[in-house]
Structure 1
């Protein structure tokens, strides 16, 4: 069992399923509103590790879906500035347990890190709608 800080978009069906799986797997969640968190580059950056910058973003965010942001042209500072200004752009959920942080819900990564209930049905990584 792990203590997990789970940053979500309230009302997101995908986040609700992800939380339910973590709870069913015996983890204790402290749920926070990703959109209301006072992010800074120093607090947000660790969630993305060595993932490429386009993977930091929520593919379902309206500006991303519309192609209004050229993700390939962003450097780290510009990407963080955009996400801090508009947290809806942040890939979610953001998950923290101990010193480790992750963005998104790759079920195999989460299982290897925290452990998930055996035989769990696949849970989506993110929301289909904003």
Structure 2
């Protein structure tokens, strides 16, 4: 099984569920705080591979929800600068297995990549909280 470095927002319900699926599949998970990591544009960029810029973002982040930031209007350089300044904007989780870096947690893609013993049809990326329930700090 794999050792997965898992960059998360501590306290995020979906990140907890994602880690549980990885552990149930026999993977070792090393959780790191995405928000306190010292990100640099080049390092962060490597996680996104060939995904379009709009798919790099956490659409539950307050700045996106209120329309202050519109990912579909950003180029790569500006998107990375915003994320380095405000890690809440980064789509979660960021995953590292060896030299392979990925973003997001689509159970089917994770299963194809490193294997899961249990798949769920649940959305494990969107924040289950609403703005009215801001206790998770959203984003």
Q: Which residue of 2 aligns with 1:87?
A: 87
1:128 Cα deviation from its structure 2 partner: 2.8
Q: Which runs of 5+ in 1 are unaligned?
A: none
TM-score relative to the length of structure 1 = 0.94
Q: Which residue of 1 aligns with 2:121?
A: 122
Q: Which runs of 5+ in 2 are unaligned?
A: 130-137
Question: Does the CA contact (< 8 Å) of 2:107 and 2:120 recur in 1?
Answer: no
Partner deviation per Cα, 1:26-61 (whole Å, 9 max, x = no partner): 000111000000000111001111111011000100
Partner deviation per Cα, 1:78-125 (whole Å, 9 max, x = no partner): 0000000000000000000011111110111100001000x4333412
Question: Does the CA contact (< 8 Å) of 1:61 and 1:89 recur in 2?
Answer: yes
CA distance in 1 between partners of 2:20 and 2:127 (Å): 15
1:7 Cα deviation from its structure 2 partner: 0.3
Question: Does the CA contact (< 8 Å) of 1:8 and 1:92 recur in 2?
Answer: yes
Aligned 1:37-116 pairs, distance under 5 A:
37-116=37-116
Question: Does the CA contact (< 8 Å) of 1:15 and 1:126 recur in 2?
Answer: no
CA distance in 1 between partners of 2:114 and 2:87 (Å): 26
- Corresponding residue pairs, total: 129
Further displaced range: 64-73 or 90-99: 64-73
Further displaced range: 64-73 or 88-97: 64-73
**Which structure 1 residue ranges, 4+ long, deviate > 4 Å from structure 2?**
none
CA distance in 2 between partners of 1:42 and 1:97 (Å): 18
Describe the shift of the 1:72–1:120 C-alpha distance in structure 2 as closer, same or farther (beyond 3 A).
Answer: closer
TM-score relative to the length of structure 2 = 0.88
CA distance in 2 between partners of 1:93 and 1:54 (Å): 16
CA distance in 2 between partners of 1:40 and 1:67 (Å): 25
